[in-house]
Structure formats: C-alpha cells, structure tokens
Amino acid sequence: MKEDEVINLSKQCNFNANQALPLKLEASGREYWRVINDNDSLVLCYLDPSKGDHSDFIKITNSLKENNVNSVDILHHNADLGVTLQQDLGDNDLLTTLSEDNKFELLKGSLDLLIKIQNANIEDIERFSENELEQQMNLFKDVFCLEFLNINVDKSIDDLISITIDHLNKQPWVNCHFDFERRNLILSRDLIKVIDYQDMKIGPIGIDLSGILIDHYYEINFENIHDLLGYFSEQVGSKYSGKELFEFLRWGCIQRNMRILGTLTDLYIKHQRSFRLKDLPMILLNLTSMIPENHASREFILQETESLLNHRISKL
C-alpha cells in the first residue's frame, strides 16, 4: 500500500493520522505501518480481507491478557477493511536490542515469557496436525531445492523429514507461537512483550525453543544454548533435563528451518519478495549444524546446496 492509502484507512478507524511509516511486510501478507498524528502513534496492521482476517489474533490476544502475558493492546478492529489498530510498542525488538552485555538477561526474560505462553489457558486453540508439520518441511525439497536451486534431493531428505516427525510427536505439546524469535519480541518500558502470535496452535515444545535460541541472523553458539536450556529447565521445575531439552530443540529447529527455507523461497518465486533471501545461508548453516552428524542428509545439504545457494543469491 501507499502512505495515503494507509492514512485513509486509519481515519476510517477513528484515528486521524497525518503520517504513515512502513514497518514490515510479513510472509503472511500482513502489512504493518506506524500511523502518527500530533498527539500519538499507533501500529496499523492490514490484511486483505479476501486473504484472511484478524479473528485468531484478537481471540489469542484476549486469552493472553487474561493470563497476564505481556502482549499487544488492540485498540480498534474493522473486519470489513481488514485493519487492526494496536498499541505502538516502539522499535526495540530483541534483534536490535540484544548485545553481549545484556543478551543473557533478555534471553532469560524471553524464556520466562515463553513459559507463561505455554501455560496460558487459551480456549479453542487448534492443534498442529502431523500432516501440516510434514508439508511445511516438504517445502524445503519441493521449493527450496527443486524450484529455487534446481536440484533433486536424495532419499536422505525424505528420511530426515520422517524421523523429525517421529521426534516431534514424542515431545511435550504446548501452546506454540510458531515464530517466537527476536524480531517478534519487543522491549517496551523494561518489559518484553510478544507480537505476531496469530498463528499460535498446540505444537511441539522444541519449535519455539529453537525460535528464540537459534536465531536466523547468527551462527549457533552451543555453549550459550546449553546454559539457557539449563535455565529453562530450572524454571519449569526440572521437569525436563538439559539433555532432553536439547533434543527437543534439535528437532524443532530442523522442522522450523526447513519450513522457513521453503517459505521464503516460495515467496520470492511467486511474489518476487526478495527481502529475506539474504538470510538463507545462515538459516541453512544452522539447519545443518543441528542435523545429527551421522545422518546422510547433513552431507547432502553441505555438498549439494550450500555453495549453490551462495552463488544463486549473489546473482540476484
């Protein structure tokens, strides 16, 4: 959308904006804008009503608020326009805010928030099906490998998908944000608040753990991960050992990174959205780092996709 279109939408939602600044465009198709007038600023989220609605986001927001989970205040909703107006939490997402000095405290705070989300009572929340999780991973072989890189996968990738599903099924299943990463956690007035949780369902515990502890923008630091998993274990009353949590995280990461590699390249192929392609090499590196060393898929990915991906991106 253009700025004047966003300003017009805000006025139709009883906020008399005179300026609109783009914030981000999500893979879901949602557009986020900061709308501003002389007295205040809000965040306007737009989703084409023909492509979806905000009902899940609103329902989950209400449940999170009832469970004292730090989340977004929704100030206005117009279903016909496909708009919500939300509290402006500012620009201090954890991706921007984290430093060597504060990262452990902020990541511990994020894990505390994640535990509250996992334990929240959210009525009528759906459960991920095994088929959904599998189809999301299939995007890796069908879109990332075949369509984007023009290579056929070998049977090791199918085997990796199969054993990942087996391991995910054996994990504890909890409320799963499904994109619990640093871009979706905002430090606002010394509180960490969660955003973009409209896709939340009941899912494997390892997916959100991998989202916050294995970032798409930095190489994995295993020592830090083990320390933070130890903290998580303590906070949940040592219900799971650090070793168990690492295996939950491993298979959650494999599912998540295969899904995201496929999703981002699918957005590029279908809609020419190239804004996240630069992140693909790190996502691929972290995926291979988490695949067990004795599994053939790890060698296949390292030999067949890594250099080809870097070459492909350099030509775009």
Q: Do the domains spanning 3-87 and 94-314 agree at the CATH topology level?
A: no
Residue 256 has pLDDT above 90, yes or no: yes
Tens-place pLDDT, residues 88-135: 999 999 999 999 999 999 999 999 999 999 999 998 999 999 999 999
Low-confidence winner among 18-27, 199-208, 292-301 (lowest mean pLDDT): 18-27
**Residue 175 CB neighbours (<10 A):** 26
Give the pLDDT mean for 245-254.
Answer: 98
Q: Please name which of 171, 145, 173 lies closest in space to residue 158, comparing C-alpha atoms.
A: 145
For residue 155, with 0-12 CB atoms within 10 Å meaning exposed, 13-18 middle and 19 or more buried, which class applies? exposed
Chain centroid to Cα 64, Å, comes to 18
- Banded pLDDT at 208 (limits 50, 70, 90): very high
Can you tell me the distance from the alpha carbon of 55 to that of 63, in angstroms, rounded to the nearest whole number?
13
Q: Please name which of 202, 189, 82 lies closest in space to residue 132, comparing C-alpha atoms.
A: 202
Average pLDDT, the chain: 96
**Which CATH number applies to 3-87: 3.50.50.60, 3.30.30.60, 3.30.1660.40, 3.30.200.20?**
3.30.200.20
How would CATH label the architecture of 94-314? Answer: Alpha-Beta Complex (3.90)
Following DSSP, what letter does each residue of 123-139 receive, concatenated? TT--B--HHHHHHHHHH
Those residues with Cβ within 8 angstroms of residue 163's Cβ, 6 or more apart along the chain or in another chain: 295
Per-residue pLDDT, 27: 67
Those residues with Cβ within 8 angstroms of residue 49's Cβ, 6 or more apart along the chain or in another chain: 79, 80, 81, 82
Write down the domain spans for the chain: 3-87, 94-314
Tens-place pLDDT, residues 43-52: 999 999 999 9
Q: Please name which of 243, 252, 229, 112 lies closest in space to residue 171, comparing C-alpha atoms.
A: 252
110's tokens = 């994020």
Helix 155-170 to helix 296-304 angle (10° resolution) is 130
The pTM (predicted TM-score) of the whole model is 0.95
